[in-house]
């Protein structure tokens, strides 16, 4: 296991994406011990209030993020007037008597769908309650069997001037379309916010294309997802040094610092950046934690130029 640096260094590290309220192990002891700052995602109905409480209890360490993971988006109905049966029938579209029988057998185990309007209203209230809150986790996922294609929540985030943590799996085309339509629809407002492609699995070519088109899109990488593919090394190599963030994507908050630090160290090795062993505010700004911290501040503050600057490395 990689050894962690001093608490002074860790205090300047931000885990851009994790799910602490998903783990039963979360406790005040764990939170008190937590040595880094975390962006705590919510992904389904039940954890919106848990993330809210976590951010109220640990305002210095927790950046709350409110949203619905695409894996749970089948529980959201676009229309408020559909019964549970009709909602799931419309979603799964059983084409044979067997499919229909199977769906009918599943129905009692499925919870009632929540109308999209209610979801958006709750997300809006939560975002407004925390000036530093982000929209997350939201996204597009074709590997999940239910196609997910509403982008109302990213538009809500732009309208409220909030940053986004976006999940995109096997949905490159749809993601490109979402970025293009957001930019076209919101104009100047779009560049006020930042968007993080979390556990980004894009090819280096595709990522460079995004960098050229958008000045407000960042990537964050995790060892748990990205290390499965050698692609992430090429992606880190290709990425503009100003656009990269790190994350754990972990549920167990006891491991967030360890997992995030592993990615900090990978980024440092690939980019050939020094790793701080102690912290000096005015220290070496070409070392990895200083750089990632500055990237985080740029991400957090938004207000990006309308045309991406030619990134120098
Ligand atoms: Zn996630």
Model confidence over 86-141: pLDDT tens digits? Answer: 888 888 888 888 888 988 888 888 888 888 888 889 999 999 999 999 999 988 77
What is the percentage of the chain residues whose pLDDT exceeds 70? 95
* d(CA 146, ligand 1 centre) in Å: 18
DSSP string, 205-272: HHHHHHHHH-SSEEEEE-HHHHTTSTHHHHHHHHS-TTSEEE----S-GGGHHHHHHHHHHHHHHHHT
pLDDT given at position 313: 45
* d(CA 247, ligand 1 centre) in Å: 10
Tokens 């309220």 locate to 21
Report the C-alpha gap between 313 and 296 in whole angstroms.
Answer: 17
pLDDT given at position 2: 86
Task: Grade residue 148 by pLDDT with cuts at 50, 70 and 90.
Answer: very low
pLDDT given at position 127: 96
* d(CA 73, ligand 1 centre) in Å: 14
* Of 183 and 172, the one with more pLDDT: 183
Q: Is the pLDDT of residue 149 over 60?
A: no
Q: For the purposes of burial, counting CB atoms within 10 Å of the CB of 97, is it exposed (0-12), middle (13-18) or buried (19 or more)?
A: exposed
Mean pLDDT estimate for the chain: 90
Model confidence over 18-58: pLDDT tens digits? Answer: 999 999 878 999 999 999 999 999 988 889 999 999 999 99
* d(CA 45, ligand 1 centre) in Å: 15
* d(CA 137, ligand 1 centre) in Å: 6
* Of 81 and 312, the one with more pLDDT: 81
* d(CA 17, ligand 1 centre) in Å: 6
* d(CA 16, ligand 1 centre) in Å: 10
Region 68-85: mean pLDDT is: 79
Report the C-alpha gap between 238 and 215 in whole angstroms.
Answer: 16
- Identify which of 75-84, 225-234, 275-284 has the greatest average pLDDT: 275-284
* Of 71 and 201, the one with more pLDDT: 201
* d(CA 61, ligand 1 centre) in Å: 18
Task: Grade residue 151 by pLDDT with cuts at 50, 70 and 90.
Answer: low
Model confidence over 218-241: pLDDT tens digits? Answer: 999 998 888 878 889 999 999 999
HEC string of 117-146 equals HHHHHHHHHHHHHCCCCEEEEEEEECCCCC
* d(CA 304, ligand 1 centre) in Å: 25
Is the CATH number of domain 7-79+115-301 3.20.20.140? yes
Parse the chain into domains and list their residue ranges: 7-79+115-301
Q: Which residues pair with 138 in a beta bridge?
A: 166
* d(CA 249, ligand 1 centre) in Å: 5
Task: Grade residue 64 by pLDDT with cuts at 50, 70 and 90.
Answer: very high
Q: Is the pLDDT of residue 289 over 50?
A: yes
pLDDT given at position 146: 54
Taken in order 29, 4, 53, 23, the sign of the CA dihedral is negative
Q: Is the pLDDT of residue 144 over 70?
A: no
Report the C-alpha gap between 157 and 136 in whole angstroms.
Answer: 10
* d(CA 241, ligand 1 centre) in Å: 23
Q: Is the pLDDT of residue 209 over 90?
A: yes
């Amino acid at each position: 296991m990689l050894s962690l640096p001093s608490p002074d260094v860790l205090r300047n590290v931000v885990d851009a994406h994790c799910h602490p309220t998903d783990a039963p192990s979360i406790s005040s002891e764990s939170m008190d011990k937590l040595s880094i700052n975390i962006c705590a995602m919510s992904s389904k109905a039940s954890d919106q209030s848990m993330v809210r409480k976590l951010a109220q209890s640990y305002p210095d360490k927790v950046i709350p993020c409110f949203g619905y993971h695409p894996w749970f988006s089948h529980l959201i109905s676009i229309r408020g007037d559909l019964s549970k049966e009709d909602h799931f029938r419309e979603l799964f579209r059983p084409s044979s008597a067997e499919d229909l029988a199977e769906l009918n057998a599943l129905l009692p185990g499925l919870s009632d769908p929540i109308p999209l309007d209610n979801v958006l209203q709750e997300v809006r209230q939560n975002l407004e309650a925390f000036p530093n809150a982000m929209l997350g986790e939201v996204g597009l996922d074709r590997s999940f069997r239910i196609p997910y294609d509403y982008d109302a929540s990213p538009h809500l985030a732009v309208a409220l001037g909030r940053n986004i943590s976006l999940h995109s799996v096997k949905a490159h085309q749809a993601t490109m379309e979402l970025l293009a339509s957001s930019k076209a629809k919101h104009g100047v407002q779009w560049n006020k916010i930042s968007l993080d492609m979390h556990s980004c699995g894009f090819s280096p070519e595709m990522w460079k294309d995004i960098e050229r088109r958008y000045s407000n899109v960042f990537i964050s990488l995790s060892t748990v997802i990205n290390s499965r593919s050698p692609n992430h090394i090429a992606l880190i190599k290709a990425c503009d040094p100003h656009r990269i963030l790190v994350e754990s994507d972990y549920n167990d908050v006891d491991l967030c610092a360890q997992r995030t630090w592993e990615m900090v160290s990978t980024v440092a090795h690939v980019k050939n950046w020094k790793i701080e062993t102690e912290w000096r505010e005015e220290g070496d700004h070409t070392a990895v934690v200083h750089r990632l911290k500055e990237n985080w501040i740029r991400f957090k503050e938004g207000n990006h130029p309308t045309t991406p600057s030619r990134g120098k490395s």
